Each structure stands twice: as structure tokens, then as C-alpha cells.
Structure 1
């Protein structure tokens, strides 16, 4: 088991991304947009994603790291 993903959350692939024509990267978590990466940071992320495009877990890890600590567990759930 990896020390980085002890609870094995990244294997569920919660993050997705979309690269726009302008070179921006839009990152989604569970279908909701959480971050937009632009300019040089986006170029670096796209390069890193292309390097590991065959390994979904590594892509998930890259996306998790770039989003930072956005989810702390105290978010309120919306009405279903």
C-alpha cells in the first residue's frame, strides 16, 4: 500500500480534468469544478499529465496535489 494514498481514495478516480483550447486546465472533483489552472502552471501540469498518461493513479495524484487541501471534511451536504 502506498504511503501517499493510505485510504486508497485515488483508485476511485474522483478527479477529472479538461484541457481547453486556450491551454487552461479545469479540474473537477466528483463532477464539480474546483479549480482552473492557467498560464505556465497549466503548461507544466499538461506536460506532467502527458508523461504519465498511461497510469491513472499517478494522474489522480497530480490533480490532488495541484488542488491542495481543498476538502477538509467539514463541508455541508446540500439537500438531495
Structure 2
């Protein structure tokens, strides 16, 4: 599985956090959620944390699942 890339975050003066993915705003966190996010990003891999918090977290098996015989009816 490839590690998430392309994420960046910025803490604003009002203590909110803006998370961007490839330069486009993905989400804005405020209050307690922003504080939890910054603590988690400082303690772990920030790219992985941002991917999880924005919901842009892929597992790498999407293409294989699409080609599985169980999903053949959905391809038509």
C-alpha cells in the first residue's frame, strides 16, 4: 500500500485548521476537533493522519475489487 501524499495543513489565528489535498481545501476543523487533530498530527505521520481525518483514505484494492467475479453484474 502506498503512503498518502499531497496533504498539507495550516493552523489559522482563530485556532481552526484547514487541511488541503494537492492545493485544494479538503476540510476545516474548529474547536476541540482542531486541537485533537494537531495533537495527533504531531505525534504520528501527518500525511496518514490528514488522509484519515479527511476521509480520503484508500486501501489500494479498489481496482482488484472491481474485477472480482462477484462484482461482474455491476460492470455491465
TM-score, length-scaled by structure 2: 0.67
- Larger helix proportion, structure 1 or 2? 2
Q: How does 1:1-80 map to 2 (within 5 A)?
A: 6=1, 8-10=2-4, 13-52=5-44, 58-69=45-56
Root-mean-square deviation (Å): 1.9
Mapped to 2, the partners of 1:9 and 1:69 lie a distance apart of 12
Task: List structure 1 segments (4+ residues) > 6 angstroms apart after TM superposition.
Answer: none
Aligned pair count reads 58
Structure 1 stretches of 5 or more lacking a match?
Answer: 1-5, 53-57, 72-80
| Rg larger in structure | 2
Listed as ranges, the gaps of 5+ residues in structure 2 are: 59-76
